[in-house]
Amino acid sequence: MFVRDAHAYTIAPDDWKVLLSQHRRWINSTVHNLGELVFLDQLCGFCCFSMRFVVMIDLVSMLIQPVTAGYVRILSSLIAYLIYRAVALKEVIPTISIIMIAAVYGSQALVFVLCAKWDMIGWMVFYILAIPLFFLVLPLYSFWKMDDFSLGSMRVVLGESGKKIVVHVRRLVFFS
């Protein structure tokens, strides 16, 4: 049900320790929930078109995410090396490699030009720089600290005078 007057409040993490703790809880709860969904009998579909298959793919992709980030780095380094050999060393490179690289990057560039979303290029640079953090550091940290059940101090904030204040979430009545 859509409620126009609904309000949501959150406290964004302003500290690296709080961000790590928050993402650790999110990733661990996601792995747990996907693991629970795999064993449900009420999931719709059949064979590779079932929700169980989609959930299993999501679970497996989440578990191998750090390794995938490493493979992406290795493959991008190999592509950069191929381009360097072709341009600087004037060596003969298999033509199919250059055609495939040009097709992939050319199609992405074509989408950028046709959609004229130039601000997305800046966000793409930010995303590429953040890939090691969100695909390597945070998942590895969350799996390493999987047995840590502490919630941290999410409701404690520092006031203007430096005094610790506990923020209480007021109880909202949805239906009267």
Reported as a single tens digit per residue, the pLDDT across 60-99 is: 887 787 788 778 788 888 888 877 887 888 777 677 877 8
Q: 116: alpha, beta or left, given left = phi > 0 and alpha = psi -120 to 50?
A: left
pLDDT on residue 144 = 82
Mean pLDDT of the chain: 77
What's CA 19's distance to the chain center, in Å? 14
Q: Structure pTM? A: 0.51
Query: What mean pLDDT comes out for the span 101-108?
Result: 84
Range list of β-strands (E), the chain = 156-158, 164-166
Q: 142, 28 in Cβ contact below 8 A?
A: yes
Residue for token pair 């090396």: 81
Number of other residues whose CB lies within 10 A of the CB of residue 67: 12
Q: Which two tokens stand for residue 124?
A: 């793409």
pLDDT on residue 119 = 83
Residue 172 has pLDDT above 50, yes or no: no
SS3 157: strand
Residue 10 has pLDDT above 80, yes or no: no
Q: Which two tokens stand for residue 121?
A: 């290029």
pLDDT on residue 154 = 54
